[in-house]
Structure 1
Amino acid sequence: MTRIEQLKVKPKKVTRPGPCNPQLMEMLSCWASTQDMESTRECATVAKNLHDCMRTAPPLQKVQKPTINYHLARLSRYLIK
């Protein structure tokens, strides 16, 4: 029996939605309801709301993922007998 069978995989973490998701959904639904994305008159206020939100929203913090070397070093004790 190898020790690799004892490994457990952690479930994916749920990502948090961005700060402007409601405005983006509103913009996409406006485009879907007008059936003409080139006509901007109907969706002008919605587009302005989305633009304002994106301009004032704080930037999302990127999480640095561990490198492959980190994972190889971490799992080496299970792979080498």
Structure 2
Amino acid sequence: MIYIQKLRIRPKKTQPYNLCGVQLSAMLSCWAATSDFQSQAACRDSAEALFHCMRTTPPPKKGPKPTINYHLARLSKKIQ
């Protein structure tokens, strides 16, 4: 007979997709090239593009929670 005291799995961690990554890298590269950290002259366009992207992008939605741990706990009662 199989005895499983506690059996749990961890869900896969997915890498978050950064929707404004292109604009952020453009602003950081502009800062590195021109040392315009206040974004007043040369980096103004890239900073405004990043701010616009951050304002208009919807927040990420959480997906459904995996139910495998629930089913494992339910089956462990039948195995014991």
Scaled to the shorter chain, the TM-score interval is 0.5 to 0.7
Q: Which runs of 5 or more residues in structure 1 are unaligned?
A: 4-8, 66-70
**Cα–Cα, structure 1 residues 29 and 41, in superposed 2: closer, same or farther, change >3 Å?**
same
The Cα RMSD (Å) is 3.8
In the alignment, is residue 48 of structure 1 matched against residue 57 of structure 2?
A: no
Alignment length, in residue pairs?
76
CA offset digits 1:20-74 (Å, max 9, x no partner): 01000101001000124135210011111001100000102356x9xxxxx9xx8
TM-score, normalization by structure 2 = 0.57
> With CA pairs under 8 Å and 6+ residues apart, which has the higher RCO, 1 or 2?
2
Sequence identity percentage: 42
Aligned to 1:18, what secondary structure does the other structure show?
coil
Letter in 2 for 1:17: Y
Higher helix share: 1
1:29-40 equivalent positions in 2, closer than 5 A:
29-38=29-38, 40=40
Q: Contact 2:24 / 2:50 at 8 angstroms: preserved in 1?
A: yes
Greater than 4 Å deviation, 4+ residue runs: none
TM-score normalized with structure 1 length: 0.57
